[in-house]
Chain A
Amino acid sequence: MTLLELEDVTASYGPVQVLDGVSLSVPENGAFGILGANGAGKTTTLRAISGAVRTGGRIVFDGKDISGMRPDQVAALGIAHVPEGRGSFGDLTVRENLRVGAYLRKDRKGIDEDIDYCLDLFPNLQDRIKSNASALSGGEQQMLAVARAIMSKPRMLLLDEASLGLAPSTAKNVYDAIRRLRLESGIAMVVVEQNANLAFTVVDDATVLETGRSVLTGTSAELKGMDEIRRAYLGG
């Protein structure tokens, strides 16, 4: 069953066309990667799904056309966006950040259980639970951003460059946790990454964007085998 479908989605910032007809499809429980260089339109694709930019074309989630919806309405349907730059609430504590993530939920007990789950998934956050988010390291803030998204009990996670600016070992920790999350929860994912190696540890299928258009789509295994992908995105 297809959970998310993008059909010929376009988007522009002022006169600059950033997405020039992106199509992709993510099955229920699936994980889909979006690879590509800077400025290829990866982040804009996620922002289009979230309703943070105006778009053309069709975006269908769970059988419902969501194009034109506001970000909070999209979130209410079960899509949690982990934005580039992590989007922490700096003056709020880690616990408060997690509570904001659970804003749409009313099940107090479930929320507490999920906070415990997040702290188990990201043990680093356990010691910092009362710290302000602004005092966390980059890696911890990334973990908090993913945890905040989990707190909304989403059906789909949009992950934007979770490795950006992190030391390689920290980035690997973050992706290990994301892979574990996927196995344990079955949450579907759209993973935007410049570091294709990391993305392939999580996703089943992926597409390569160039100047706002998919130039290549395939399974992880197929893409990993292609010379041009190796040269451009896998470092050799």
Chain B
Amino acid sequence: MEKFVQLVIDGLSTGSVYAALALAIVLVHSATGLVNFAQGGMAVLAAYVAWVLTNQGVPLVLAILASIVFSFLLGAVLERFLMRRFERGDPDTAVVVTIGLLTLITGIAGWLWGYNNQQFPSLFPLDTVSLLGVSVSIRSIGTTLVIVVAMVAMQALFVGTKLGLALRAVAINPQSASYSGLPVERLLMVGWGLAAVLGAIAGALVAPQLTLTPGMLDNALVYALAAVILGGLTSPVGVVIAAWLIGVLENLAAVYVGFIGFDLKVAVPFILIFVVLIVRPQGLFGRKTVVRV
């Protein structure tokens, strides 16, 4: 039993890492209608900015705040000067551009800071506390809490605020949105900026655990996309729950299902995706899109 609880709690902790990135993907999708594959790369860049600042003696919290501001500007600038050229065209083209952007950003980070693993200081102490008879690191609890706050904030933004409504409207039908007086281009910039901020938070949370490298989030991005498909592209709460589910099931399967083991546990999210896409293609929590013709 103790082992089981420990596995679940560890799973939730890794799941939170996927959740952070998945939330950023949902945010940019809700605000622009695109899946942004460069989300992980942008988050890594933000983490490097924070890392460089801490090396200069800037306190960690300030460094992370600065990287958040940097990310907002980076997101807005990328939208304004790069993505805008592709927004009116085929969405597939824009998605491919984001894949190119991921490669480019990773390359730039490697060129500037090298490919060696760098130690990134942790926001939370590394001590453990005892919970239900198992030891849990305060860092895991902290990471999970920040993710929950981000999820609630995002849900509130999209459902409860005028800005959120405007962002969604622009993503669905920019032409019609402009006829209602929405400043489409400015809203798209804000959407990209906000998603980059979320990415920066994710980067700062996971960098201590994964150690900082240009490809730090490549794996996590795969899991995050799995969570997005499982949870549904339209549901912040859904993707967070899906990310936790992936983290926990992956751990449990590795230990309790003999033929999977630790070597095959990477397959768990893909098996889940496979089943969900067959049974419930809109995701576990996503809204079904009905199109009438």
Contacts and interface: CB of A to CB of B under 8 A. Distances in A.
Given A96-B165, A100-B169, A103-B182, A91 B177 contact: no
Interface stretch (A11-19, A76-84, A204-212, A214-222): A76-84
Interface stretch (A30-38, A55-63, A132-140, A227-235): A132-140
A182 interface: no
B176 A75 contact: no
B179 interface: yes
Nearest to B186: A72
Interface residues of B, number: 23
Given A132-B287, A134-B291, A135-B292, A70 B169 contact: no
Contacts, number: 83
A90 B162 contact: no
B179 A103 contact: no
Contacts of B162: 99, 103
Contacts of A71: 175, 178-179
B90 to A, nearest CB: 18
B57 interface: no
Given A83-B176, A91-B234, A134-B291, A152 B181 contact: yes
A92 interface: yes
A150 B234 CA distance: 29
Nearest to A151: B180
B183 interface: yes
A45 interface: no
B177 A100 contact: yes
A40 interface: no
Contact of B183 (A72, A80, A87, A132): A72
Interface string B164-190: 011011001101111111111000000
A75 B179 contact: yes
Contacts of B234: 91
Contact of A87 (B165, B176, B287, B290): B176
A90 B165 CA distance: 13
Contact of A134 (B177, B178, B289): B289
A92 B181 contact: no
B175 to A, nearest CB: 7
Interface in B103-120: none
A104 interface: yes
A52 B175 CA distance: 8
B180 A103 contact: yes
Contacts of A122: none
A80 B169 contact: no
A89 B162 CA distance: 15
A135 B173 contact: no
B176 A89 contact: yes
A25 interface: no
B191 to A, nearest CB: 15
Interface string A119-130: 000000000000
7 contacts: A72-B183, A89-B173, A91-B234, A96-B165, A100-B166, A135-B292, A148-B180
